[in-house]
Structure 1
Amino acid sequence: MKFLKIFFFVATIVFSNTIFAQELEVKPPKNIGTVQVFNPSKNDNTPIIRLNSNETLLFLFDDLDAGYKRYNYKIEHRNADWSESGIFQSEFLVGINSDYVRTHKNSFNTYKRYTNYQIQFPNRDMNVKLGGNYLLKVFLNDENNPVFTKRFAVYEGNVDVGMSSSRFINPRVKDLNQKIQTVVSSGYQNFTETPDGAKLFIMKNNNWNEHITDLSPDFTRTNQLTYNNVDWTFEGGAEYNWFDTKNLDVPGLTTERNFRKDSVYHTVLRVDFPKYNLPYDDFGDVNGNFYIRSNRYGNEYLAASEADYTWVYFALDAFEDQNGLYVPYVVGAFNNWEISEASKLKFNKDSQLWENEYFLKQGYYNYQYVVVNTKTKRVEPSYVSGSFWQTENMYQGLFYYRPWGGRYDILMGYGEVNTRN
């Protein structure tokens, strides 16, 4: 049950929009679209790379106002709990401490005009020399007033993080049905020197908000920590819903229709419905991720500046809000799993459906419906679609350690496991 408390606490922070959440996760304004962290080595949105390797991250975003603006960026070092570490830039940074976004391109042959910006990290002018959590800030003139922020991490790789998953059965809490076991090993680090210095953070499907942490290891050896407690348990959830807008001339399998109005595309998705009371439905997904694509061009990499935008209309039928007790939201990597007014579904008395719309770039998208309990303020991710132990998920383990006398947390190791492996 500790997972429930920890995850729901984090979700409540995002939902209540506290000062800390605002500082860490600055939501982009309406003119900024398709904020993306892309990991070329993994071909997905995994925001984690290894220190002193050939791995890079691409941070991409569009300015829907179109026309060039001088966007700047900088990075900040953070502790394991994302609090400010307070260390000097010279302690973690190599090169300059801020720069302007050098790669940009205006959209081409699109109804919606925009300018695409890209940041590669690390680059020839900026790198880091410490493993840890980092915050990317993008701003125009004032770094203390960022346009948006994105989280990422760099690990040193000097410890091994071995992970495995298994089915978990608890008739009292049936939604908690995927258990994660983790073994952290090191050839040189003595973990008994600073027992409280070790912190293991496990998140699900690249979603920083859905995680468990701050639990003690079950077995401690000089160079090895074993985490095998029943508290390391997640809701398996269900496979993500999906839609495909690569081709806006014809509807995809989950699309009702596409049309163009007022010089912009519109995509109406087929109506979804709750599946919590149905058997497990096994179909492929990309674990909440999204990919920008357009089939108009032979080279898919041109999609960053040549894919168009479309209004995507979501609709949920037969949803039981229990007289206002549960409020539904549509989330995924496309909106950073954000619980906000923008992601809330609203009831349409005419259609008798719960609806929402997002202005999204062409591509392949995963999404899911979650609810917030208005009494407990807790996010319940399985209320609409159910939770099944068979669901394919990726879990990622980040191991932090603060040596004796250390002033900040070091991300020493990273591991991951897929529940189908």
Structure 2
Amino acid sequence: MNTILSSICFLWVTFSIAQVQEEVLPPNYIKSIIFKGNGNVSGNPVLQLGESISLEFDDIIGDEANYYYKIEHFNYDWTPSELKKSEYLNGFDNVRISNYNNSYNTLQGYTHYNLTFPNKDTKSLKLSGNYMLKILNENEELVFSRKFMVYKPIAQVKLDIKRSRDLKYINSRQVVNFSINSPDFLIRNPESTIKVIITKNHNLKSAIHNITPQYTIGNELIYKYDQETSFLAGNEYLQFDSKDIRSTTLDIGRIELNELYNHFLFADRSRATEPYTYNPDINGQFVIRTLQGENPSIEAEYVWTHFKLQNYDPLDGGELHLFGAFNNFELDETTLMKYNKTSGIYENTLLIKQGFYNYKYVLLNKDGSLDEGFISGNFDVTENEYQVLVYFRDLGARYDQIIGFGNASSLNISN
């Protein structure tokens, strides 16, 4: 009997874990994914219920392939919700993306796809919560997927960015203090019905979860933790601008033209032990643009961009990777910096569409943890954007709704 019970428990746990949905990375022929709401932030957008959302991407095979999209609703922990599609979607999905154009006057041919909803097929989302947009090919195979969040502004979320109260981290960490106020909405048992997600620079992969309120004042929930809601501050992102494909810049040292253009960036070096220097960035984002055409979506070139990094610190079995929103902050074989024994420099080459890009180098430790400041350093005065999403699930409810969203910059950080 104990053996049977143990087997059932094991299967149940395995099934529960298997249900958690992760984003699927695009294949190497899908490039320049821009997924955003009404703002300029690409990646995992947060939008208010009723706002529009758009997806753009390129297929560099350029054969006008057919792609379809699906929208699915998820719980706080990214397990599928119990809702039927008709309960959260007004209209229907599994529709072909019909808005696409071939590149014009470019060395690398590609087909550019554009999807916006609401549209005539997908009229609106009915409910707030976690969603995933899935792109499939004509064989109904999943090509890639992206998460996004929809909130209904019921509760007010106020953020304050502080330095750590722990003297060990006062110069390297930023702490997110916040409060949730719902004067017109009664929150019962907030310790069990309210959940939050805290993100830095719209990166879900480094988010902080499962923080309970410290105390309440009337209808206001107060979160004034220190270490529990702190992030290593990092440093400002590095950048390059390839909008003029034929000209070198302060960041691009050399240009070659073979079958495609090649841009060789100046070698970067570790900034971890150097003094902090304020250099305004766009917090890891990128913008497609070109001086050689009027419509960057279809007239921007693809460029082989060569990255170089001087690093003399031991990695202890870890790996150095490129990091930024250009691939949704994912680390894989394409972002790996490889050591060149001849030059003594870490190198990587990526095929990137013309534009302005933020990037940095991070260390992926052999235990799977990420050290964002290994090369860049961590400085408490770094400008970062922080977001807080508030989830609510009443007793007996069948899904997690998002009732509040707040954001703030660390530009005016205080003690």
TM-score if structure 1 supplies the norm length?
0.89
1:321 to 307, 314, 317: 314
Q: More deviation in 287-296 or 167-176?
A: 167-176
What is the match of residue 399 of structure 1? 390
The RMSD of aligned alpha carbons is 1.7
Is residue 245 from structure 1 mapped to residue 242 from structure 2 by the alignment?
Answer: yes
1:83 to 64, 79, 83: 79
Is residue 43 from structure 1 mapped to residue 60 from structure 2 by the alignment?
Answer: no
Contact 2:191/2:213 (8 A) holds in 1: no
Is residue 368 from structure 1 mapped to residue 360 from structure 2 by the alignment?
Answer: yes
2:406 to 412, 415, 421: 415
Closer, same or farther: CA 146–279 of 1 in aligned 2, 3 Å? same
Contact 1:25/1:149 (8 A) holds in 2: yes
Over residues 206-234 of structure 1, what are the superposed CA-to-partner deviations in whole Å (9 max), with x where a residue is unaligned?
11112111011111245221111111111
- How many positions carry a matched residue from both structures? 393
Contact 2:191/2:212 (8 A) holds in 1: no
1:27 to 25, 28, 41: 25
Find the aligned partners of 2:172 and 2:195 in 1 and give their Cα distance.
Answer: 23
Q: Which amino acid aligns with 1:410?
A: Q
2:106 to 103, 110, 114: 110
Contact 1:60/1:116 (8 A) holds in 2: yes
Find the aligned partners of 2:125 and 2:298 in 1 and give their Cα distance.
Answer: 29
Find the aligned partners of 1:364 and 1:271 in 2 and give their Cα distance.
Answer: 18
What is the match of residue 283 of structure 1? 279
Closer, same or farther: CA 19–340 of 1 in aligned 2, 3 Å? farther
Q: Which amino acid aligns with 1:366?
A: N
Q: Which amino acid aligns with 2:408?
A: V
What is the match of residue 10 of structure 1? none
What is the match of residue 183 of structure 1? 179
Find the aligned partners of 2:365 and 2:113 in 1 and give their Cα distance.
Answer: 38
Task: For residue 251 of structure 1, report the CA deviation from its aligned partner.
Answer: 1.3
Task: For residue 132 of structure 1, report the CA deviation from its aligned partner.
Answer: 0.7
What is the match of residue 58 of structure 1? 54
TM-score if structure 2 supplies the norm length?
0.91
Task: For residue 273 of structure 1, report the CA deviation from its aligned partner.
Answer: 0.5
Find the aligned partners of 1:83 and 1:26 in 2 and give their Cα distance.
Answer: 15
Over residues 72-108 of structure 1, what are the superposed CA-to-partner deviations in whole Å (9 max), with x where a residue is unaligned?
0011001112121131111111101321112100000
Secondary structure of residue in 1 paired with 2:326: helix
1:123 to 119, 123, 127: 119
Is residue 96 from structure 1 mapped to residue 92 from structure 2 by the alignment?
Answer: yes
Flag the structure with larger Rg.
Answer: 2
Find the aligned partners of 2:207 and 2:199 in 1 and give their Cα distance.
Answer: 4
Task: For residue 398 of structure 1, report the CA deviation from its aligned partner.
Answer: 0.6
Runs of 4+ in 1 over 6 A off after TM superposition: 18-21
Closer, same or farther: CA 175–89 of 1 in aligned 2, 3 Å? farther
Find the aligned partners of 1:20 and 1:281 in 2 and give their Cα distance.
Answer: 44
Q: Which amino acid aligns with 1:382?
A: G
Find the aligned partners of 1:122 and 1:19 in 2 and give their Cα distance.
Answer: 31
Closer, same or farther: CA 175–116 of 1 in aligned 2, 3 Å? farther
Find the aligned partners of 1:173 and 1:28 in 2 and give their Cα distance.
Answer: 37
Structure 1 stretches of 5 or more lacking a match? 1-17
Secondary structure of residue in 2 paired with 1:420: helix
Structure 2 stretches of 5 or more lacking a match? 1-16
2:132 to 112, 135, 142: 135
Q: Which amino acid aligns with 1:320?
A: D
Task: For residue 43 of structure 1, report the CA deviation from its aligned partner.
Answer: 2.4
Find the aligned partners of 1:306 and 1:243 in 2 and give their Cα distance.
Answer: 19
What is the match of residue 332 of structure 1? 324
Is residue 197 from structure 1 mapped to residue 190 from structure 2 by the alignment?
Answer: no
Find the aligned partners of 2:188 and 2:220 in 1 and give their Cα distance.
Answer: 9
Task: For residue 310 of structure 1, report the CA deviation from its aligned partner.
Answer: 0.3
